Every structure is written in C-alpha cells, then in structure tokens.
Amino acid sequence: MLIHLLSKNRYSIFFRSLRDVKANEKRTIILRTHFELDQRLYNTPTSSQIAGILLEQTSDPPTKGPPIVIYSSSGQSYKIQHYYGCYDPLQYPLLFPYGGKKHKIKNKKKTVSCIEYYCYKLQIRLAKNSILLKSGRLLQQFVVDMYIKIETGKLDFYRKEQKKIRADLYQGVVDSVALGERNASKIGKRIILPAGFIGNPRDLRKRYLDAMSLGQRYGKPDIFLTITCNPAWSEIVSELGINEIVQNRPDLTCRIFRAKLIELKDLIIKKKFFGPVAAFAYVVEFQKRDLSHAHFLIILKESSKITFAESYDEYVAAEIPDAKKHSLLFDLVLKHMMHGPYGEKNPKNVCMSKKGYCKSRYPKSYCEYTIQAEDSYPIYRRRNNQIQVKVRKSMLDNRWVVPYNPYLLCRFDCHLNVEVCSSICSVKYLYKYIYKGHDKIAFNLVDTEKPELFVDEIKQFQTGRWISPPEAMWRIYAFILNEMQPSVTTLQVHLPHKHAITFQESQDLQKILSFDFY
C-alpha cells in the first residue's frame, strides 16, 4: 500500500535508488554526564524523547544545517540544503506522500516566512485532520528538525549580513591609527550575534542586568515560584485521539501550559494574590524531562512585604496535609510535591551528586516553627507528627515535602513550588538561575562498528545545545519566552573615548575617526 501511495510522489525515485547504495558508517552518540559539568544545564535526559543537538562554536556562528545527500545508481550525489523546497518531502516522505503541493496564499503577501509556514501547518483544525499532528513520535522529530531549520536560517542571515562588521573601542581605533595601521580588518573583533537574538549570551546577560536593576530599584524579590506542566491535565487528555499519548503531542502541551501560565500571571499581577506587585520577571524553560516549566520572581510593594517569619506560613506550607480534612490537597501533595525518594532509598536517582547526597538537600530537618534563615530560603515548619505516606514504593514524611501554596496547588493541579525569599544574599543567585540559558549536552560521535577503546573526553567531546520538541513547538508558535515589568531602558555610560563603535572591515580607519560619534 505504501509503495502504491508513493508511486505518485515525484521524489520516490531517489529513495528506490538507495537500495543499490551501501549504507554509510553507523555512528552512536555518547552523552557525557559527569558531575563536574554544570548540572543546571548539562543534566541527564530523564525521559524518552526525540531531541536535536545544535553545535555551538565560540569563534563563529554555528555551521550551516546539514544537507540531505542523495545518491543515484550511477554513483552521483546530490545535496539538498535545508532551505530547499523539496527538503521536507525528501526527509519525511510519509508526511508528504504526494511530494508536497503548493498552497494558495489568501493574504496580500506573496510570500510567508519559514516560521509562519510551519506555524500554519501545525494548527489544530476541526474540519480537517492533520497528518502532521497524527504522526505520533515522528511529529517530535519533525518539529525539532523544522525549528533547527528556522534558527539556522536566522544564523545564516547574521553570518552573511554581519561577517564584515567589526567592533572596537574608540580609543583602540585612535591607538591603531597612531601606530600607522589604517586597515579596519586588522583590529577589533567580529560581531557574531546581536543582543536582539533571543537566547544568545548577550541577550541573557542584558536581561540579567536589567533584572538586577529591578532589585536595586524595588528591593529584593519576595516570592520565587516555579510552575511545571502537568501532562495529565484534563484539558490535554480530553484532546487526545485514539491511541495517542501526551508525549507525541507537544503542540497540545505547549498551548495548555501557555494558557495556565497566563492564568497564573493574571492571578498574581492583576488579582494581587500575594498582594500588590511592584515588579516581576519570569522565564519559560525546557529541560530534558520533557516538561515545560516557568520561574517567577515577584517583588511586592512596600505595604505587602513579607518581613516576619511568623507570616511565612500564610503563603507557604511544607507539610503533608490531613487526609480526612483536606482530601484533595492531600492527594495533590502526594502526587506533585514529594521530593524523592533519594539517598539511601534510591542512590541511583538523577538528583544524587557525586558525593552521595541529594543536590536539593533532601530530606530536610524537622522544625516546629518557621524561622528566618541566613541563606536564600527560610527553614519552613516541618513538624514530626509521625505522618508517613507511601510514595514510589517508599515511606516518606514531612521532611520530603517541597514547599507549596495550598490554594495554587489545588487550582493548577501540577508541581508548583513556592518559596519566600528571606535574605538579600539570594538576589544574585535567583536572577542568575532564571537567566542561566539553554539546556546543553556534552556528546561525542563513536563508530558503532569499530568502537574506540579509549575516548579522550577533553579533545573529542563537543558542547551542543539540546532542543526538545516542547521548546521547538513553543518557538515555532512564537510564544513569549520571558517577560519583565516594569521595562528597563539601558543607558550607556563610559569614560571619554571608551565607547564601542562598529565599522566595516573595508573602511579606512582615518576616515572612521573623522566622524563625530557623539
């Protein structure tokens, strides 16, 4: 049936010719998960998912996307670049059984961007079933591949448009001219990516500094909140078709999580759940657990500041609730807010450090009253009331409860961690934490047929950016990744002749200095 279906595909002849071509060398990707790597970024994947690794280079932008190489029976090869129109039907013949067809454009524009096209293709339409959204695990690979294509196209644009632009301090140009150098290509450094490219180190550093300025203006954050997507939300499960699983529908999880995120934001900001808000910042992240999550930092107005340890219990709880009085809350705490078991009960868990203890310092100590701590978080009330519950085949007590807000937990039915920021020492750490950047992985390619006996990890392991299906779908839909209010305007302050200037590498340095840069 498939052969008959693909007989109408104009590209099928290329696939049939592959039977006469020997297979390329088989290679295996080895992931490096050593403890010395920053586990916030280089943590081990904990779910079975299809992900992409985008190579990163320090001196130049990432290389162009890999082409599809097609061989004919005569031995000739053809390269199909990622931006060719036939790339998709060649890479995914079952998703484009007829080789693809032209779409009529109903708006005034004669062309659409790559991201607009895939955003259109990945929409849910009741009147027409989508082959893409019904393709199961193949949808994960498709969305990751297409987002890498989109980002690679942006990087290619910056490479072509800015490869001849250089930057240096004004004083550096003056010094170079004084030494007799007039060739602009000999000084300064190349501009690789501007700060406007979301997610690059310049962008993250700028957002971190802007967020720190909020703390300088409005004081330390009062609430640190983390919300994680729950794949068992009724809004997601009700939209699944026959034999569909949540993991294969990143479009659904992204849409529903975004809706929950907007609801939570409105509850905190507009409805003043914690009190009037002076400033806030949040960042959406995608870890290797196949679940999207967001971090909120909330600064309350002076009249609503949480200043006394006695008032912390009004916002945060860290105990197992009474199963008879609060049955719903009891079930949700057991389902979402129990950390573990780790340590002696599960020494191989991903939360364990090299030295054999939990990186999140669980189990906590018993405490009769909430007290102010010297570090980033207070010591919450965890009474030794002999209540134990069975979670993941182990008996756990109050020492294993992740701090939560009872109302928010019942309303959103997901892992929703709420912490009170009790010390000014936590400010820098918290802001750095939420702006730490993309998830990364250290990897190496090894020949499967001739495995290496010894792998030089220092020389052969490369660093790559880990792109999961939820992140790819989120970015294709162009949903907001971070937000900060009030906005911050950066004012450039510098010493005389120490401001940065940009120039073309073909320019004469003497002419550059003749312009008035002020």
Residue 69 or 56, more confident: 69
Give me the domain span that covers residue 237. 203-444
- Confidence category of residue 442, pLDDT binned at 50, 70, 90: low
Q: Tell how strand 440-447 and strand 27-32 pair up.
A: antiparallel
Q: What is the pLDDT of residue 98?
A: 77
What is the mean pLDDT of the segment spanning 261-269? Answer: 95
Q: What is the pLDDT of residue 456?
A: 45
Q: What is the pLDDT of residue 453?
A: 45
**Cβ-count burial 485-506 (b if 16+ within 10 Å, e if not):** eeebeeeeeeeeeeeebebeee
Q: What is the pLDDT of residue 16?
A: 67
- pLDDT of 77 > 80? The answer is no
- Confidence category of residue 349, pLDDT binned at 50, 70, 90: low
Q: Are 329 and 408 in contact (CB under 8 A)?
A: no
Q: Are 133 and 124 in contact (CB under 8 A)?
A: yes
What is the mean pLDDT of the segment spanning 413-422? Answer: 89
- pLDDT of 237 > 90? The answer is yes
In a domain, 65, yes or no: no
Q: Are 360 and 401 in contact (CB under 8 A)?
A: no
In a domain, 332, yes or no: yes
The one-character DSSP state at 312 is G
In a domain, 352, yes or no: yes
Q: Could you tell me the CA-to-CA distances from 28 to 25, 265, 444, 445, 450 in Å, in that order? A: 10, 43, 8, 6, 11
> How many domains does one find in the chain?
1
Q: Are 151 and 54 in contact (CB under 8 A)?
A: yes
Q: What is the pLDDT of residue 43?
A: 67
- pLDDT of 58 > 50? The answer is no
Alpha-carbon gap, residue 195 to 201, rounded angstroms:
8
Q: What is the pLDDT of residue 386?
A: 84
In a domain, 338, yes or no: yes
Mean pLDDT lowest for which of 143-147, 481-485, 489-493, 512-516?
512-516
Alpha-carbon gap, residue 34 to 24, rounded angstroms:
30
- Cα 354-357-358 angle, rounded to 5 deg: 105
Q: Are 394 and 408 in contact (CB under 8 A)?
A: no
Q: What is the pLDDT of residue 32?
A: 66
What is the mean pLDDT of the segment spanning 67-75? Answer: 67
| DSSP H stretches of helix in 363-468 | 406-412, 426-434, 457-460
The one-character DSSP state at 371 is B
Alpha-carbon gap, residue 50 to 26, rounded angstroms:
18
